[in-house]
Structure formats: structure tokens, C-alpha cells
Amino acid sequence: MSEGILNGIRVIEGSAFVAAPTAGMTLAQLGADVIRFDAPGGGLDWKRWPLSSGGDSLFWSGLQKGKRSIEIDLRSEEGRETLTQLITAPGEGNGIFVTNFPARGWMSYEALCERREDLIMVVMTGNYDGSSEVDYTVNPSTGFPAAMGPRDSAVPTNSLMPAWDSIMGGLAVVGLLAALRHRDATGEGQLVQIALSDVAFATVGHLGRIAEVQLEGSDHAPDGNYLYGAFGGDFPCKDGRRVMIVALTDRQWKALKQATGTEELFAKVEQATGNDFSDEAGRYNGRDLIRELLAPWFAKHTLDEIRATLAGTGVSWGPYQTFKQLVEEDARCSTENPMFTMVEHPVGTYLTPASPLTFSVSGRLPAKRSPHLGEHTEEVLAELETEPAGDTS
């Protein structure tokens, strides 16, 4: 129970930035022994912002938690040999390598397979042809930035959250666990590949946006904070705070009218204007009118009053919060939530999430600290020496 559901798996991670570190961190949170290697002095994301006032990367800390960190100089033949031994070490739970580095030369799947035939190697690239790309260059191409932001905006709006990286990190773990299941059953390893722009464009397709272009020829302009295809909009409150209100389902719409005392108002306006807000399409088409009619109620109440009034009503809503307000005001982002604990990291002590996944039998591991860079170099190298040579063929 206390060791995590993936206890016994050892994963070597060669990575930087978000996607591959997220994959490794997800595995570490589930109990895998994840060893991230970096060049001496740190890799490309060693000083990635946000930074502490002491110059330490809080980003690096967040994405390496629960991992062991080793420094290896891959410019030396000795370093490359050590890493090859580590990646191809024998044992059922070993022989798993996750990377977003170019998988060429000695680090290619073929070369590593010569040392361990049943290697599972997950390679993340920017595009499917192996060329590079980052979340911030893929996102503008997806169509989302051109369809969000203020209605009258002449420019696209980037997302600050690297969603494609985070999604790819999760899917990489899906690929790894599927390949491990195959290896457990058949003894065969394999190369698993995934590209960031494929993840992004596939998602555009999943959500019906490719079909909409091809079948309907339609495109989208920014529409402010409205939700697409039903009612959802933001409202300023009496105290300057804002809330997001959603009525996707009939039940949510009825609850919203009831809680705000606008049932009669909407009935009269629907009658007078010929609008029908009883289905999603009607609510979407009438979104400006709906917002106009609801706005006075929100303007008359503070966020606290709104929270109290809407509690238990079935209204779908959420407060807008800055990062600071999230951390300082939202109980879901505090130690009241069993996912979070205060953890002492080398960069400082802060509220740290464990995996969002809980397992009734296997449990959930408490959040772990991030390592010092190279903290486990000696330890891991010593372990390697006590293991036999990496050849299971």
C-alpha cells in the first residue's frame, strides 16, 4: 500500500522542459523509481522560470519531484557507457527509457537494443518527422488562439498553460504502460513514439473542429469568455471579483434561473423576443441577452454572497482567482485536500501535490520532494556496480 502501484518499475528519463518531465513525474508519483539524468551543472530547463529569489527554478523543482537526479557527462565515452548500462540494466522492472532528446547514435533505440533486446523506449518529438517544436509554437497553429480572447481582438490570444505538453506527458505514460503490459505478456520490448503537434492536432479533431471545417466550411472568431455551443459566461460581482457561470444541461439552466430568481423574467423575455433558451443551441444563440439579463443579480452580490447562495443548488459555476487567490483562498488547494501536503524541497517548503489518482487497494503515495541536481549520482552508480552487465539476450 505504501509503496505505490508502480513500485518495482525503474525508468530512466532524459528530458527537459514540460512533456517528458511530466511523464517521469507522473510515474514517480505512482511509485516508479524514476532517474532523471542531466549534464553536469544542469540541462536546458535547470533555470526555467518561475525562479525563487535565490535563483532556483521552482519549475524544475515542481516537475522533478519524487525523482532521483544524476549528473552524467555525455560528451565522454565513459558517461555514455554508464548511461547505456543504466538504461539497459537487467531485471523485469528495468529497461525502460523515456526521452525527448534526439534518439540518435548511441542513444538510438537500435543501438540500445543491442544491449537489451526487450527495451521499452518512449521517444517524444515536436513533429512526427522528428523535427522540433515546443508547446508555444504548436499552440498558435491549432486554431485555438485565433478563436479565443476578446471579441473585438484583432490579434490571436496565446494560452499561458502548456496544455499540449501536459497532455503528451500523460499519453506517453499510457504508451509506456501499454508497452510494459505487452512486454510482461510476450517478452517483447518496443519503441513508442509520440509527437507534440500530433497530440495537439488530434485533439482538435477529437473535439469536432476538423470535421466542422471540412463538412461545414466554418471558422471561428474570438468570442470573449463565452462557452461555445451552450450558455457559459463571466460576470462581475459587487466586490470586483468575477465568476464563471455555465448552463450546459437543462438541469443547470433551471437551477441557475431558480437561484437568481429570474424564472419569470426569462419566461417573459423569451415570449417577447421569440427566443427559446430551453436547449443548448437556443442558449448559445441568445448568450448576449442571457448575460445581460443575469448581470444585475451578480452585480448586486459579493463573491461570498454568491458562493453562499449557489451552494447546493446545482448551478455550475466557479470563481475567477489569480494564482495567489487560488493558493490563499481555495480550500481545494490546501492541506485540507488529501492530495496536498507541505513538503520541504531543496528550493524551499511549499504546498505540493501528490498524484491526482487514488487507488483503493494500492493507495496514494504522499507528495515527495524534488532532488538536488545530481543528488543521487553516487548512489545510482554504486547500485549499477552491484548489478550484472545489462544483457538479457
d(CA 203, CA 85): 37
Place of cell 520532494: 369
Give how far the C-alpha of residue 211 lies from the chain's centroid of Cα atoms, to the nearest Å: 26
d(CA 376, CA 393): 29
Burial 15-26 (b: 16+ CB within 10 A, else e): bbbbbbbbbbbb
Pick the piece of the chain touching a copy of itself (CB under 8 A) from 73-81, 98-106, 170-178, 375-383.
Answer: 170-178
In the complex, least distance from residue 234 CB atom to a copy of itself, rounded to whole angstroms: 7
Residue 315-354 contact track with a copy of itself, rule CB under 8 A, x = bound: -xxxxxxxxxxxxx-x-xx---xxxx----x-xx-xxxxx
In the complex, least distance from residue 283 CB atom to a copy of itself, rounded to whole angstroms: 11
* Residue placing its CB nearer to a copy of itself in the complex, 216 or 264: 216
In which element (H, E) is residue 352 found? Answer: strand 348-353
Pick the piece of the chain touching a copy of itself (CB under 8 A) from 93-101, 168-176, 256-264, 297-305.
Answer: 168-176
In the complex, least distance from residue 386 CB atom to a copy of itself, rounded to whole angstroms: 26
d(CA 182, CA 190): 9
The sign of the dihedral angle between the CA atoms of 113, 115, 118, 122 is: negative
* Residue placing its CB nearer to a copy of itself in the complex, 181 or 300: 181
Task: Classify the phi-psi angles of 208: left when phi > 0, otherwise alpha if psi is within -120 to 50, otherwise beta.
Answer: left
Identified binder of a copy of itself from the candidate list 281, 295, 299, 389, rule CB under 8 A: 281
* Residue placing its CB nearer to a copy of itself in the complex, 18 or 70: 18
In the complex, least distance from residue 64 CB atom to a copy of itself, rounded to whole angstroms: 10
Grid cell at residue 234: 463571466
* Residue placing its CB nearer to a copy of itself in the complex, 173 or 380: 173
Q: Which of residues 74-103 bind a copy of itself (CB under 8 A)?
A: none
d(CA 184, CA 309): 54
Q: How many residues bind a copy of itself (CB under 8 A)?
A: 154
* Residue placing its CB nearer to a copy of itself in the complex, 19 or 86: 19
The sign of the dihedral angle between the CA atoms of 303, 306, 311, 314 is: negative
- Asked whether the beta carbons of 316 and 248 are under 8 A apart, the reply is yes
* Residue placing its CB nearer to a copy of itself in the complex, 82 or 115: 115
Q: By three-state DSSP, how is residue 305 classified?
A: helix
In the complex, least distance from residue 48 CB atom to a copy of itself, rounded to whole angstroms: 6
In the complex, least distance from residue 280 CB atom to a copy of itself, rounded to whole angstroms: 6
Q: By three-state DSSP, how is residue 43 classified?
A: coil
In the complex, least distance from residue 12 CB atom to a copy of itself, rounded to whole angstroms: 18
Q: Which of residues 194-233 bind a copy of itself (CB under 8 A)?
A: 194-195, 197-199, 201-220, 224-225, 227-230, 232
Identified binder of a copy of itself from the candidate list 160, 271, 272, 393, rule CB under 8 A: 160
Long-range contacts of 336-340 (CB under 8 A, 24+ apart): 338/364, 339/364, 339/367, 340/367
* Residue placing its CB nearer to a copy of itself in the complex, 276 or 328: 328
Query: Is 279 an active-site residue?
Result: no
Instruction: Kindly name the residue from 118, 165, 304, 330 that is annotated as catalytic.
Output: 165
Q: In this structure, what are the phi and psi dihedrals at residue 73, rounded to the nearest 5 degrees?
A: -85, 105
In the complex, least distance from residue 89 CB atom to a copy of itself, rounded to whole angstroms: 20
Nearest CA to 281 among 290, 269, 292?
290
Residue 286-315 contact track with a copy of itself, rule CB under 8 A, x = bound: ------------------------------
Based on the shown chain and the rule CB under 8 A, indicate whether residue 359 belongs to the binding site for a copy of itself. Answer: yes
Residue 12-51 contact track with a copy of itself, rule CB under 8 A, x = bound: -----xx---x--xx---x-------------x--xxxxx
Based on the shown chain and the rule CB under 8 A, indicate whether residue 268 belongs to the binding site for a copy of itself. Answer: no
Strand order in the sheet with 231-236: 231-236, 242-247, 316-319
d(CA 295, CA 303): 13
Place of cell 471561428: 220
Q: Which of residues 96-155 bind a copy of itself (CB under 8 A)?
A: 109, 127-128, 132-134, 136-150, 153, 155
* Residue placing its CB nearer to a copy of itself in the complex, 90 or 156: 156
Grid cell at residue 23: 511523464
Hey, which residues are catalytic here?
165
